[in-house]
Structures are given as structure tokens and as C-alpha cells.
Amino acid sequence: MQKMQLPNPYPSPVRYGAAVGVATLSIVLSSVLLRMGIRLESAWMIAAVTLAAWFGGLGPGLLSTAFCFAGQMLLRFPEGSWRVEGTSEWVGLCAFVINALLISFLFRSHYRVRAWRKVSPVAVTGGYWWRYDIGGESVELSSPAFPHVTITRTYTDWLRQIARQDRERVEAAIHTALSSGQIDLQFHMILPEGVTRLVEMRGVRPEGKENGLLAVCLEMGAPTPDPQAFLH
């Protein structure tokens, strides 16, 4: 089973177009204020980078940073010369670049959580298929609403998402289920955004597959799933 890359919540042209748009707007606004004797170029451009990274992730954040860097070079003293002179101007430019890069990378995790929520089986149905392949030591998660979308991780990585107090009990139950052919337990799962959910898992060992388990997982407090979705 191959590891799947999460799709983006918005198409790339929209994300990168928005990054260019907010960066351009911040440069134009800073230029207008500069003509009025108000120097706030870094404030508006940092806001543009923040919006781009929040909406589109790391790539759009870096693109907005690049556009705003060009704007900084254009608007800093001496204005319109594409040069920067003076210690204070260089310090201001370096501070902008460092802050913009930090914002872009920090919002990367936030964007990944949004991407996970968009394709998360629980976000759509309240439940998901759980498949364990002991031969490949991997766990595959898929949604009945999105049969073509699967999320694969190693068994060890999946266990790390289980609350520490439940981890040994879950491992023991899975080991027993490989022999008995049935699994029925509850445990606490820590979601990517840090929220803890109670999960109910019920499953069997598929016929003819001695080295695997197949189960349905329901998260308590998630939207109620359509039972028929699991029967197709």
C-alpha cells in the first residue's frame, strides 16, 4: 500500500492566485501610504503573507513573500531605485524576510490539518474503514463516501495517535483478534489538530487473509454516519 498525499482544499490556481493578489494589494497600498509620508510597508506585506499562507499553505506563502520582497526593495530608501541603503533599512528588510518565512512555515501545519479535515472519513460520514496488513506492518484508512481516497501509514505511526493509556490495550486486542478473528474495543484517538476522540472499533479477520484485520471505526461525537454507506 502506497502512502497517499492529501489533496489541497482549494485548486492550485486559486491558492497561488490569491497569494499574488494579496501581495500586489499590499504593495499598492504601501506605495499609496508612502506618497502620503506614512511608512508601513512591512506591516501590510506581513499581513499579505499571513493571509496567503493561511489560505493556501507553504507554497503560496513563499510566493507572497517573494512578491513582497520585491515590493520592499522598491519602496525602501531610496524609493524606486531597487536598492537599500542605511543600516535601519537593511535591518527592516531582514526582519521582514525572517518573519515572512516563519509565518509561511508555521501555517504549513495549519493548512495540513485543513486538508486532512476535507478528506477525513470522519468529517464526511462519522466513520471509516480500518485495514491492518501485518505483512507490510501498515494501516490503511478509507471512507465509504470516498472509496477512491485512502490514507496509509505504518502501524507504528498509527499507534502513536492512540492515547498512551490505551496503547498497550489496543495492541493486545489486535494481537488477540489475529487469532480469534474478531475485534471489538474502544480507545481514545488523538486527532491531527490535537482533539481527543473516543473511537469504537469493530471488525473481523477477512476470510482467507490470516495476516490482516478489517474493521469499522466510529468516533464518538462525530457526525452520525449513514449505516448503508458501509454496505456498498
111 with 129, same domain: the answer is no
Domain stops at, among 97, 118, 139: 118
CA distance 62 to 106: 12
Question: What are the cell numbers at 110?
Answer: 495549519
Q: What is the band of 5 on the pLDDT scale with cuts at 50, 70, 90?
A: very low
Give the pLDDT confidence score for residue 71 in this predicted structure. 94
Give the pLDDT confidence score for residue 51 in this predicted structure. 96
CATH of residue 186: 3.30.450.20
Give the pLDDT confidence score for residue 2 in this predicted structure. 38
Q: Is there a contact between 34 and 79 (Cβ–Cβ < 8 Å)? A: yes
Counting the structural domains of the chain, the total is 2
CA distance 68 to 52: 11
62 with 87, same domain: the answer is yes
CA distance 22 to 75: 17
109-154 tens-digit pLDDT: 778 766 655 545 454 455 788 999 888 789 998 876 666 678 888 9
Q: Outline where DSSP puts E strands in the chain.
A: 127-133, 138-142, 150-154, 182-190, 196-204, 212-219
Q: What is the band of 8 on the pLDDT scale with cuts at 50, 70, 90?
A: low
138 with 206, same domain: the answer is yes
69-114 tens-digit pLDDT: 999 999 998 888 888 888 999 999 999 999 999 999 999 877 876 6
170 with 193, same domain: the answer is yes
102 with 154, same domain: the answer is no
Domain that holds residue 180: 121-230
Q: Is there a contact between 54 and 95 (Cβ–Cβ < 8 Å)? A: no
67 with 145, same domain: the answer is no
Mean local confidence (pLDDT), 32-43: 88
Tell whether 81 is covered by a domain.
yes
36 with 57, same domain: the answer is yes
Tell whether 5 is covered by a domain.
no
| H helix or E strand, kind and range, residue 134 | none
